[in-house]
Amino acid sequence: MATSTTSPPGRRTPRRSTIWRGPQSPRRRLPVCERGPNEMTTPQPAMLKWDNETLSRFWGYYSQFPELYFSRQKGRDVIKFVSGMIPKNAMVLDYGCGPGHLLPYLLDEGYTVLGADISLETIGSAVNVRGRDNFMGFDTIDGLLSSERKFDAIFLLEVIEHLDDQALELTLSQARRLLKKGGLFVVTTPNEERLEDSMVYCPVANVIYHRWQHMRSWSAAQLADTLSSRGFHDVKVETRNFRDISTPKVLQAKLLISEIFNRFRKPQSILATARG
């Protein structure tokens, strides 16, 4: 099941994605510890403030578990869905590639591929694509911008839910600069995620945070408005469930059951395509 949203022409005030601001009233009751006849309430936890060091440690740890990554699970199906919009000899960028799970799938389609992220420390750590035909290597986003390289297509998969307002503006601006005129921009993000459902508590630091470091929730309409107001054209957005077609054949029966179930549940992903 899929629904679509196409951004209409004309200017209008863009609707913004929802950023989690922390627990609101009425507040959840916190644990208490008893000391004699009195009760002492644990101080109200703060929201974790993500900085570069914290992010590096967080994703450095989770890079050990490739099965948890959307690009590893669903990336091949995303590419299959948009491949008809990309020339066969296209130069393609995986923006925010992280460990690099999408790169082998892009190379399998015959594209000339480059992976980029904000740092080279853990980039491409989960895949072995060096030496493959049409693989152009890794670079930082700043490095690509300084070299003035342009791409026929840019994939930005499961990134925008991790960005605050400033980082979101910077990312979309950089993507536009790297995309050729008329090139294809592909974006995915969770569909209307309830951020509060995935908040976890760290008793050591007395902070709460989203278990996957998500900072904002998107609807299809919000994403369409955001891309249109940032200068992208021919914006098309739809909600859908992508298949895990990286699953070994021995699990095909489970995959079939999952596909049947997907027909009756709310679409889990938003897919947007736009032109530069």
- Please report whether residue 204 resides in a domain: yes
Which residues, including other chains, have CB under 8 Å from residue 213's CB and lie 6 or more apart? 50, 55, 58, 59, 162
Quick check: 157 and 134 in contact, CB under 8 A? no
- Please report whether residue 28 resides in a domain: no
Strands 179-190 and 269-275, sheet pairing: antiparallel
Residue 160 structure tokens: 């925008």
- Please report whether residue 21 resides in a domain: no
- Please report whether residue 206 resides in a domain: yes
Q: Mean pLDDT throughout 170-195?
A: 97
Distance CA 133, CA 129 (A): 9
Structural domain for 125, as ranges: 40-275
Distance CA 273, CA 232 (A): 9
pLDDT score recorded for residue 118: 83
- Please report whether residue 266 resides in a domain: yes
**pTM, whole model, 2 decimals?**
0.82
* Type and span of the H or E element at 54: helix 52-62
- Please report whether residue 24 resides in a domain: no
Q: How many structural domains compose the chain?
A: 1
- Please report whether residue 14 resides in a domain: no
Domain of 204, CATH number, reads 3.40.50.150
Distance CA 160, CA 268 (A): 15
**Choice between 10 and 243, residue whose per-residue pLDDT is larger:** 243
Which tens digits make up the pLDDT trace of 215-249?
A: 999 999 999 999 999 999 999 999 999 988 655 55
- Please report whether residue 267 resides in a domain: yes
User: What is the band of 123 on the pLDDT scale with cuts at 50, 70, 90?
Assistant: confident
Place of tokens 């948009």: 82
